[in-house]
Amino acid sequence: MPVVHSFGPVAGRSPVPPPRVASDTSAAARKYGVVAMPSLEWNEQVARETAHLYERVKNVIPSVEWPFFAPYVKAINALKAERNAVILAHNYQTPEIYNCVADFVGDSLQLAREATKVDADVIVQCGVHFMAETSKILNPDKTVLIPDSRAGCSLASSITGEDVRLLRRKFPGVPVVAYVNTSADVKAEVDICCTSSNAVQVVESLGADTVIFVPDQYLANYVAGHTNVKIIAWKGACEVHERFTAAELRQYRADDPAIQIIAHPECPPDVIEEADFTGSTAHMIDWVREKRPKRVVMVTECSMADNVQAELPEVEFVRPCNLCPHMKRITLPKILDSLVYMKEEVVIDAAIAEKARRSVERMVNLKR
């Protein structure tokens, strides 16, 4: 069933406020102390101690580049233990982060679930700001750091809590589902969150005949095509996925008719039409692990192909390299700075966090 209505930001509304980090940047530093910057020298000892980690990425990181990464990898892993910290990394992080310093990797839903089980004092979120906020929402008593608080998201910045209140006034009684790619302010205003892994299940769990779905218009369209629930959508989009075109995918198929094309549901509908499979990043990875295609195009952020390639060297990944500029703000030097200086700490107003927690926990607690 097509989306029944769609709405966008009200003309002239105030801009979406930037993500919040602690204004007192030394609060976490006072609590945990600042440590000396570890040595970043490349030598034989560093080579020996990181050799097992290089094995994981040797298919995607040339050996000539490892002497730059290895001292950071060693220092970050040592500091994680010293700080009782864990690193949660999204599937779009670069291979040296994803494979060599992360404790947990996954899509937004997997990371949200991991965040509920974390038994550490400090979480370093390698992903974008709404992901770090989600970890803080689920772990109000822990210190959550993001290595670069400017790591935003075009979807999260397309909508505000006030926009959701306006939608509720326009459609009284209609429940609202928010994709997790939203700020805490938005999560606080909705009934439940979802990810691209569980969006259809979440919409149907509400038992309503109409649901407002924000903020991704393409995911809303995908959900509308897989349920009988009427969907009212918001006109947000991911700046990475909306760049893919059906014409480029047809060209891949013309060049190699046996190629497999798998797409993320944040892509426009004509792109999804061309794909052999559509699913969240976690589902895309599982699909490649299971099917082991000879050649595959992953129609999503480019680093994910590198991360799966590291694990499955026999699969050839054709890479239409659309990078997320926000995800790419997170680097090993910035992760190390986070752990040395205990910055930048994510903060959320307590009342907003409590309301947002209900929406996130309702999703996390849904039966799989």
Residues near ligand SF4, by CB under 6 A: 128, 153-155, 181, 238-240, 301, 324, 326-327
**Least CB distance from residue 154 to ligand SF4, whole Å?**
4
> What is the rounded distance in angstroms from the CA atom of residue 218 to the CA atom of residue 211?
15
Tokens 């995911």 locate to: 219
**Least CB distance from residue 127 to ligand SF4, whole Å?**
8
- Computed from CA positions of residues 276, 60, 303, 247, in that sequence, does the dihedral angle turn out positive or negative? negative
Q: Which residue number, 151 or 229, has a Cβ lying nearer to ligand SF4?
A: 151
Q: Which residue number, 15 or 33, has a Cβ lying nearer to ligand SF4?
A: 15
**Least CB distance from residue 327 to ligand SF4, whole Å?**
6
Q: Which residue number, 204 or 239, has a Cβ lying nearer to ligand SF4?
A: 239
Q: Which residue number, 102 or 240, has a Cβ lying nearer to ligand SF4?
A: 240
**Least CB distance from residue 279 to ligand SF4, whole Å?**
15
Distances (CA, A) of 57 to 42, 67, 111, 240, 309: 18, 13, 22, 25, 9
Which among 2, 364, 37, 359 is positioned nearest to 187, based on CA atoms?
359
**Least CB distance from residue 18 to ligand SF4, whole Å?**
15
Q: Which residue number, 181 or 183, has a Cβ lying nearer to ligand SF4?
A: 181
Q: Which residue number, 99 or 281, has a Cβ lying nearer to ligand SF4?
A: 281
**Least CB distance from residue 128 to ligand SF4, whole Å?**
4
**Least CB distance from residue 241 to ligand SF4, whole Å?**
6
Residues 6+ apart with CB under 8 A from 41: 71
> With b meaning 16 or more CB within 10 Å and e meaning fewer, what string describes 127-144?
bbbbbbbbbbbbbeebbb
| 167 phi, psi to nearest 5 deg | -60, -40
Residues 6+ apart with CB under 8 A from 152: 18, 19, 128, 129, 326
Residues 6+ apart with CB under 8 A from 173: none
Note whether 345 and 144 are within 8 A (CB): yes
Peptide bond into 344 cis (omega under 30): yes
* Phi/psi-derived region of residue 236, left when phi > 0, alpha when psi is between -120 and 50, beta in every other case: beta
> What is the rounded distance in angstroms from the CA atom of residue 1 to the CA atom of residue 37?
57
**Least CB distance from residue 303 to ligand SF4, whole Å?**
10
**Least CB distance from residue 104 to ligand SF4, whole Å?**
18
Q: Which residue number, 74 or 326, has a Cβ lying nearer to ligand SF4?
A: 326
Q: Which residue number, 326 or 334, has a Cβ lying nearer to ligand SF4?
A: 326
> With b meaning 16 or more CB within 10 Å and e meaning fewer, what string describes 161-200?
bebbeebbeebeebbbbbbbbbbbbbbbbbbbbbbbbbbb
Q: Which residue number, 205 or 322, has a Cβ lying nearer to ligand SF4?
A: 322
